[in-house]
Amino acid sequence: MILNPGKNLQIPTLIQRSLRVRIALILLTAFSIGAAALILLIDGRDQTLTILFILLLMMLCVWLSLHRLVISPILRLQKLARKIGSDEDRSEVEFSPRRDEIGSIGTTLLATEKESERQRQELLALANRMDKERRHDPLTKLHNRRHLYLEGPKQFSMAHRLNYAISVMMIDLDHFKQVNDSYGHAAGDTVLIEVAATLLKHCRTYDILIRFGGEEFTLVLVNCDHAQSLQAAERIRQDIASLKISHEQHTSIPITSSIGVCSAKGMDMERMIIIADECVYKAKESGRNCVRHAEIATQPD
């Protein structure tokens, strides 16, 4: 029959949870029984005290030996086991080489800890790689819309706190369907790749450039006001129009863009994207290959 100390026996919590307390109680009990037996069996007082003193020294030696050989290694094993799978520093947990059962457990735990850390690093690398793949457009290698909606709010929040302007530019390639129909979809892919490379030249490290979808790109310009964004948009329009794109037998594929821009302070990103997209339609209605700005310089705090 297996006794459950928590239910059948009312043992104090400290005794239940501490191996060293249990061993100390066992030794104390053994010493008490031995002392009682000596008192009953030996008549001489001095002789009894001497034997009790020797017995006490023996118990103390046993305690120190058990603590060194059993309790202390188990406590270190427990400390290591609690740190497995966590980010805590495990270098302070050391084990002296042993060939007994406790040494075997320590070796197994260390191997488990190393394997756990290896798997954790692999999972972290896999998660980072998957996140990077989810955030990138496989064709142009630019970030995609997912990245915009993850990172964009951070830039807008900072712009609101520091009270500087931010601009959103929507860039739509003109007559892109005709490019695909006339030169083939592979040529259309080449056009998108070349345009993406051109846009990267106008993007600072802290700006956000993405392929929004299809033949449309989005550029978020940080700390960029109305006048600056118009200049940047015009340079982009000119660079795209001057591209000499070739694909297989086609030596030059003409391409232009219609660009809509919204610059403001204190406006949320989604609203600015909608306004900039509306400006793209105005640019197309104006004959394409041009820039239209929403004429919003600031937004009340």
Mean pLDDT along residues 66-89:
71
| Pure H helices in the chain | 13-17, 19-41, 45-66, 72-83, 101-135, 145-162, 176-183, 185-200, 226-241, 269-285
Query: Max CA-CA distance within the chain?
Result: 122
Mean pLDDT along residues 161-176:
95
Type of residue found at 122 = E
Question: How confident is the model at residue 18, as a pLDDT?
Answer: 63
Question: How confident is the model at residue 300, as a pLDDT?
Answer: 40
pLDDT higher than 50, residue 120: yes
Question: How confident is the model at residue 5, as a pLDDT?
Answer: 47
Residues identified as active-site: 215
Q: How many residues does the chain have?
A: 301
Q: At what angle do helices 145-162 and 101-135 cross, to 10 degrees?
A: 90
* 3-state SS track over 2-45: CCCCCCCCCCCHHHHHCHHHHHHHHHHHHHHHHHHHHHHHCCCH
Name the more confident of 85 and 264. Answer: 264
**pLDDT tens-digit map of 129-149:** 776 667 889 899 999 999 999
Which of 264, 256, 257 lies closest to 221, judged by CA?
Answer: 264
Name the more confident of 138 and 41. Answer: 138
Instruction: Check if the beta carbon of residue 233 is closer than 8 Å to that of residue 292.
Output: no
Percent above pLDDT 70 for the chain: 78
Q: How confident is the model at residue 12 (pLDDT cuts 50, 70, 90)?
A: low
Q: How confident is the model at residue 9 (pLDDT cuts 50, 70, 90)?
A: very low
Q: What is the DSSP letter of 106?
A: H
Name the more confident of 194 and 295. Answer: 194
Which of 294, 283, 293 lies closest to 173, judged by CA?
Answer: 283
Angle, CA 58 vertex, CA 63 and CA 78 arms, to 5°:
10
Q: Which residues contact 143 (CB under 8 A, 6 or more apart)?
A: 135, 136, 137, 151, 208, 209, 210, 211
Give CA–CA dist 294/17, Å, rounded: 71
**pLDDT tens-digit map of 229-286:** 999 999 999 999 999 898 887 678 999 999 999 999 999 999 999 999 999 999 999 9
User: pTM here?
Assistant: 0.61
